[in-house]
Amino acid sequence: MTYDLNDRTAVVTGAASGIGAEIALVLARSGAKVALLARRADRLAELAEKIVAEGGQALAVSADVTGDLTEAVEIIHTAFGRVDLVVNNAGVMLANPITEGRDDEWHRMIDTNVKGLLNVTKAFTEDLVEAGANGTADLVNISSVGAHLAFPNYGVYTATKAAVTHLSTNLRTEFGPLGVRVTNVEPGLVATELGDHMDNPDVDAHLEAWREQVPPLSPADIGDVIGFATSRPKQVNLRQLIVLPTVQV
Ligand SMILES: NC(=O)c1ccc[n+]([C@@H]2O[C@H](COP(=O)([O-])OP(=O)(O)OC[C@H]3O[C@@H](n4cnc5c(N)ncnc54)[C@H](OP(=O)(O)O)[C@@H]3O)[C@@H](O)[C@H]2O)c1
């Protein structure tokens, strides 16, 4: 489905694959100019080409959300001007028993999922506040239903997502009065590459078995929800969305 997002300018982090790519597609098909941000330049260029071929507007910006975003922001401003819709979607999920003591994984997840999200939010805060004072502005954070649940071996990942959900609740108390909507989205199981970076065969096998029991959502299902949420009238803020496959309990 498409929505009315004409005259909107978006940045989607983690747009190189999965949920982020589908969010970017629905926003672009709905009329928004979309900056695609992730590390893999080839994947971003491919998606930007697809969007442009469909008649949309997209810009591939290769950047790491954990690093200095000054240049990325400049590139986006030069091409598209002020941003009024930011989707913090970039994330990593690495799982291992806590007894393995994999602090390399813990740091990577905290750096990307929490500090990276804050870094991107900071980079576009001025844009969002200015946009909120003059029209519609959105900050969308992709958390996870895991923020509320116990998942053995995924303790640090789910803790980063609990941080995202809690941050969203609090950021909304500051951004809302400035006219900036904050929407926290908590997907359940979605078929993406997210689990492909894990290095423990037992954990992989468990995830695979779970996917067989619970047919996952498609990334486009989540993209559609974000298209809907960000196209509501300015005064309507869908602040918390838990989006699960129907059979996931
Ligand atoms: N799939 C699920 O079941 C599920 C459920 C709940 C929540 N989520 C959340 O949904 C979000 C998207 O994940 P996904 O499922 O679509 O998995 P994915 O396909 O692996 O997408 C993750 C994206 O984040 C980008 N990324 C990772 N580290 C980055 C960094 N340091 N800087 C910039 N970009 C970075 C990756 O691109 P590059 O590698 O090119 O940088 C990739 O495009 C994540 O926040 C995830 O936690 C997913």
Of 39, 218, 238, nearest to 141 by C-alpha is 238
Please name the CATH architecture into which domain 9-243 falls: 3-Layer(aba) Sandwich (3.40)
Query: How many Å apart are CA 205 and CA 202, to the nearest integer?
Result: 5
| Contact 89 CB / ligand 1 (< 6 Å) | yes
| Contact 39 CB / ligand 1 (< 6 Å) | yes
Whether 157 is catalytic is yes
- Residue 217 phi, psi (nearest 5): -70, 165
Average pLDDT over residues 21-31: 98
Ligand 1 mutation pick, 12, 19, 68, max ligand atoms within 8 A of CB: 19
Quickly state the pLDDT bin for 223 (edges 50, 70, 90). very high
**What's the 88 CA to ligand 1 centre distance in angstroms?**
10
Tens of pLDDT along 66-102?
999 999 999 999 999 999 999 999 999 999 999 999 9
Tens of pLDDT along 188-212?
999 999 999 999 999 999 999 999 9
Question: DSSP 3-state assignment of 152?
Answer: coil
Domain ranges for the chain, please list them.
Answer: 9-243
pLDDT confidence of residue 31: 98
Average pLDDT over residues 174-180: 98
The pair of three-digit structure tokens given for residue 89, joined into one six-digit string: 């979607």
**What's the 114 CA to ligand 1 centre distance in angstroms?**
13
